[in-house]
Structure 1
């Protein structure tokens, strides 16, 4: 039986490995990470609807301040987003993030305002970004990449890699995110 699941259901599937009903999703919103994802996706869904768009933007702003997640509805984020921990997180609204991305606390995905890398990051599918990592500038992070905790990345990273350190170094690895990204969609 083929069933079409919503983006919110796909995001919540990443946490539990189970397809949840709308009621089950609301009950899971006691978790701040999941609650924020729910509000973010609702804001993205109704972004071009005047009244509902305004309402969800106000709700999102409230929870951005409450939870410390600075992610905007303009940010292009693929299905299966997983926020690993509650806490400070900054994602530039012009950044692009693929599907099945894990983002831990303290991460910055930001713009660079000058120089050869002026611009915003583009992150592929199946990427795990560890605590306090910084990805900045017009860079491309390939699919199946693990960005280690505290890494500072301001250059392109090819797929199937681990990137670690400050300054960061690339370590080619076919199984870069094995065991780190669960319940892929």
Structure 2
């Protein structure tokens, strides 16, 4: 079995990959992240080795993309032990580089920026990206870092750091009329 696939299985608590365990991931146990990453790894493996197998896995990957809401390009460089905690709304640009033992939560976006930090993110080893975290541009997230929920990163984050979203700003003005249209009115 491919070492990258084995490392992903180990991050999900499966120490030894057998045919039965592989079968159970695809047909018995609902584990979308592990299923997607297994097909992702096979797609990358055969990209230059066998075009027929590459297209087979590529089409399978595309169908899983729609089914689970993962938009992770097959070109993305992802290290060993990648863990997707929950499915839905994950977008990762093809030029992004992700290190070993990284966790991605639902709603995470790793994308390009056309501003001063033009380019794609580099996520180093042992990084946790919380729900709805966004990293934009040519920025580096250092080793052993945690990016909290709903945090937007546009600048480098040093190693061994935690970044959290700032305190909410409350504006004492009712703006709901601009967003809530065609209200239901209960008749007496």
Q: Secondary structure at the match of 1:16?
A: coil
Unaligned ranges ≥5, structure 1: 168-185
Counterpart of 1:130 in structure 2 is: 130
Counterpart of 1:182 in structure 2 is: none
Over aligned residues, Cα RMSD in angstroms? 1.5
Is residue 2:36 matched to residue 1:39?
Answer: no
Q: Displacement, 1:6?
A: 1.6
- Scaled by the length of structure 1, what TM-score is found? 0.84
Question: Which has the greater radius of gyration?
Answer: 2
Q: Distance in 1 between matches of 2:147 and 2:19?
A: 33
Q: Which moved more, 1:147-156 or 1:49-58?
A: 49-58
Q: Distance in 2 between matches of 1:101 and 1:22?
A: 26
Q: Displacement, 1:86?
A: 1.2
Is residue 2:4 matched to residue 1:15?
Answer: no
Q: Distance in 2 between matches of 1:94 and 1:22?
A: 33
Unaligned ranges ≥5, structure 2: 168-188
Counterpart of 2:145 in structure 1 is: 145
> For residues 163 and 105 of structure 1, do their structure 2 counterparts lie closer, same or farther at Cα, with a shift above 3 Å needed?
same
Counterpart of 2:171 in structure 1 is: none
Q: Displacement, 1:23?
A: 2.9
Q: Distance in 1 between matches of 2:24 and 2:164?
A: 37
Q: How many residues are aligned here?
A: 163
Q: Distance in 2 between matches of 1:51 and 1:77?
A: 23
**Does the CA contact (< 8 Å) of 1:84 and 1:105 recur in 2?**
yes
Moved over 4 A (4+): none
Larger RCO (CA under 8 A, 6+ residues apart): 1
Is residue 2:60 matched to residue 1:59?
Answer: yes
**Does the CA contact (< 8 Å) of 1:150 and 1:166 recur in 2?**
no
Higher strand share: 1
User: What do the CA deviations read for 1:143-181 (whole angstroms, capped 9, x no partner)?
Assistant: 0000001000000000000011159xxxxxxxxxxxxxx
Q: Distance in 2 between matches of 1:5 and 1:54?
A: 19
**Does the CA contact (< 8 Å) of 1:95 and 1:122 recur in 2?**
yes
Q: Displacement, 1:64?
A: 0.5
Q: Distance in 1 between matches of 2:32 and 2:127?
A: 22
Q: Distance in 1 between matches of 2:113 and 2:166?
A: 17
